[in-house]
Amino acid sequence: MKNIILFASGAGSNVQAIIDYFEGKNTVKPVAIVCNKPEAGVLQIAQKYQIPVEMIDKQSFSSDEFMNKLNTYSPDLLVLAGFLWKIPAILVQKYPGKIINIHPALLPNFGGKGMYGMHVHNAVIAQKEPESGITIHYVNEHYDEGNIIVQAHCKIEPSDTPEDLAHKIHHLEHFYFPKAIEFLLK
């Protein structure tokens, strides 16, 4: 069994997809959820599946205490699933090649600070792009710049709204993210 820690501060639909995919498989176990938003929907998912939650703020995020806490879960992979803060260098150094992120666009386009969630889809539609997609990549000290593991594309129709695109992107994410985690931990 491999342990993953999920970092999430949004609705948690990717966390749900990951839990569903590995449920009953005995291969990968979400052992904790790290969250920085007390009102995040993902916390209800954590409660439902009784997954321990580690709440953080900007200060505790890079503290020794938090590093030690993560260590107690013996994680094989740290998975950012809708997590918006930059990962502190100390964490990147502690888990080299063991932190991955999902981004709702085709990096290097539409990435970087402030590019998250609907901001990304609004920008993609505003630029009349013919396609978008998802990027699963390793995390380094810079936003959205680590090596790419996999990308998947979707077509954008001229009539698509940012919400339509968000829907297509979530669909791709829920399909590919659990499989990418499984592949990396094999």
Catalytic residues: 103
Q: Does 82 bind ligand GAR (CB under 6 A)?
A: yes
C-beta of 11 vs 150, nearer to ligand GAR: 11
CA distances from 7 to 2, 33, 37, 44, 130 (A): 16, 6, 11, 14, 31
Measured CA angle at 96 (ends 95, 99), to 5 deg: 65
Is there a contact between 41 and 11 (Cβ–Cβ < 8 Å)? yes
Map residues 38-77 to x or -, x wherever contact with ligand GAR holds by CB under 6 A: ----------------------------------------
Q: Does 146 bind ligand GAR (CB under 6 A)?
A: no
Both tokens of residue 20?
Answer: 């569903």
Q: Does 13 bind ligand GAR (CB under 6 A)?
A: yes
Which residues does 85 contact at the CB level (< 8 Å), separation at least 6? 9, 36, 58, 61
Q: Does 12 bind ligand GAR (CB under 6 A)?
A: yes
Kind of pairing between the strands at 148-155 and 53-55: unpaired
C-beta of 8 vs 77, nearer to ligand GAR: 8
Cβ 183 to ligand GAR shortest distance, Å: 18
Out of 104, 133, 146, 178, point to the residue binding ligand GAR (CB under 6 A): 104
For the chain, the farthest-separated pair of C-alpha atoms sits apart, in whole angstroms, at: 50
Name the site residues for ligand GAR (rule: CB under 6 A): 8, 10-14, 81-82, 84, 102-104, 116-117, 120, 169, 173
